[in-house]
Amino acid sequence: MKTAQNLLAGADLDRLCIDTIRTLSIDAVQKANSGHPGLPMGAAAMAYVLWTRHLRGDPADPAWPDRDRFVLSAGHGSMLLYSLLFLTGYGLTLDDLEHFRQWGSRTPGHPERGLTPGVEVTTGPLGQGFGNAVGMAMAERWLAATFNRAGQPIVDHRTYVIASDGDLMEGVAAEAASLAGDLRLGRLIVLYDANRVTLSATTDVTFSEDVGARFAAYGWQVQEIDGMDVDAVDAALTAAEGDEARPSLIVARTHIGFGSPHKQDTFEAHGEPLGKDEVRATKRAYGWPEDAQFYVPPEAQREFDKVGARGAERHAAWLHLLRDYRAAEPELAAAFERALRGELPAHWGDGLPVFTPADGDMATRDAGARVMAVLAESVPNLVGGSADLDPSTRTMLKGKGDFQPADLPERTPPTQGLAGGVRGYAGRNIHFGIREHGMAAILTGMAHHGGVLPFGATFLTFSDYMRPSIRLAALSEAHVVYVWTHDSIALGEDGPTHQPVEQIASLRAMPNLLLLRPADANETVEAWRIAVRHRGGPVGLVLTRQKIPVLDRSTVAAADGVARGAYVLADASEGVPDLILIATGSEVSLALEAHRRLVAEGVHSRVVSMPSWELFRAQPAEYRGAVLPPAVRARVSVEAASPFGWERWVGLDGAIMGVDHFGASAPGPVVMAKYGFTVENIVATAKQVLARVAR
* Positions marked active-site: 436
Interacting residue with a copy of itself among 1, 95, 114, 209 (CB under 8 A): 209
Instruction: Confirm or reject binding of residue 182 to a copy of itself (CB under 8 A).
Output: yes
Count of beta carbons in the 10 Å neighbourhood of residue 347: 8
Instruction: Confirm or reject binding of residue 418 to a copy of itself (CB under 8 A).
Output: yes
Q: Is 92 helix (H, G, I), strand (E, B) or coil?
A: coil
- Name the helix (H) or strand (E) containing 223: strand 221-226
Interacting residue with a copy of itself among 148, 378, 506, 681 (CB under 8 A): 506
Residues 598-637 that bind a copy of itself (CB under 8 A): 630, 633
Between 378 and 665, name the residue whose CB sits nearer to a copy of itself. 665
Between 467 and 596, name the residue whose CB sits nearer to a copy of itself. 467
Rounded Cα gap, residues 551 and 588, in angstroms: 9
Which one of 45-53, 100-108, 521-529, 679-687 is the stretch in contact with a copy of itself (CB under 8 A)?
100-108
- In degrees, rounded to 5, the angle at the alpha carbon of residue 92 between the alpha carbons of residues 308 and 128 is 95
Q: Confirm if 120 and 128 have CB atoms less than 8 A apart.
A: no
Residues 384-413 that bind a copy of itself (CB under 8 A): 386, 388-392, 402, 404, 411-413
Interacting residue with a copy of itself among 95, 210, 231, 244 (CB under 8 A): 210
Q: What Å distances lie between residue 517 and 386, 572, 602, CA to CA?
A: 19, 25, 30
Q: Spell out a b/e string for 111-128, using b for 16 or more CB atoms within 10 Å of the CB, else e.
A: bbbeebebbbbbbbbbbb
- In degrees, rounded to 5, the angle at the alpha carbon of residue 309 between the alpha carbons of residues 306 and 310 is 85
Q: Of 631, 633, 624, 628, give the one whose Cα is nearest residue 651.
A: 633
Residues 240-299 that bind a copy of itself (CB under 8 A): 266-267, 271
Phi, psi of 347 (to 5 degrees): 60, 20
Instruction: Confirm or reject binding of residue 494 to a copy of itself (CB under 8 A).
Output: yes
Q: Provide the mask over 640-679, with x wherever binding to a copy of itself is found by CB under 8 A and - wherever it is not.
A: --x-xx-xx--xxx------xxx-xxxx--xx--x-----
Least Å distance, CB 585 to a copy of itself, is 17
Q: Confirm if 2 and 221 have CB atoms less than 8 A apart.
A: no
Instruction: Confirm or reject binding of residue 22 to a copy of itself (CB under 8 A).
Output: no
Q: Of 248, 238, 138, 118, give the one whose Cα is nearest residue 191.
A: 248
Between 54 and 498, name the residue whose CB sits nearer to a copy of itself. 498
Rounded Cα gap, residues 170 and 296, in angstroms: 36
Least Å distance, CB 29 to a copy of itself, is 10
Rounded Cα gap, residues 567 and 15, in angstroms: 65
Rounded Cα gap, residues 284 and 280, in angstroms: 6
Between 323 and 692, name the residue whose CB sits nearer to a copy of itself. 692
Between 338 and 633, name the residue whose CB sits nearer to a copy of itself. 633
Q: Provide the mask over 50-89, with x wherever binding to a copy of itself is found by CB under 8 A and - wherever it is not.
A: -------------------------x--------------
Which one of 81-89, 108-116, 155-163, 600-608 is the stretch in contact with a copy of itself (CB under 8 A)?
108-116
Q: Provide the mask over 118-157, with x wherever binding to a copy of itself is found by CB under 8 A and - wherever it is not.
A: ----xxxxx-------------------------------
Burial of 413 (0-12, 13-18, 19+ CB in 10 A): exposed
Q: Confirm if 84 and 47 have CB atoms less than 8 A apart.
A: yes
Interacting residue with a copy of itself among 42, 65, 166, 257 (CB under 8 A): 166
Instruction: Confirm or reject binding of residue 3 to a copy of itself (CB under 8 A).
Output: no
Instruction: Confirm or reject binding of residue 214 to a copy of itself (CB under 8 A).
Output: yes
Between 12 and 660, name the residue whose CB sits nearer to a copy of itself. 660
**DSSP characters over 608-660:** EE-S-HHHHHTS-HHHHHHHS-TT---EEEE-SS--TTTHHHHTTTSEEE---
Interacting residue with a copy of itself among 252, 339, 369, 472 (CB under 8 A): 472
Interacting residue with a copy of itself among 130, 218, 482, 677 (CB under 8 A): 218
Handedness of CA 146, 155, 132, 506 (dihedral sign): negative
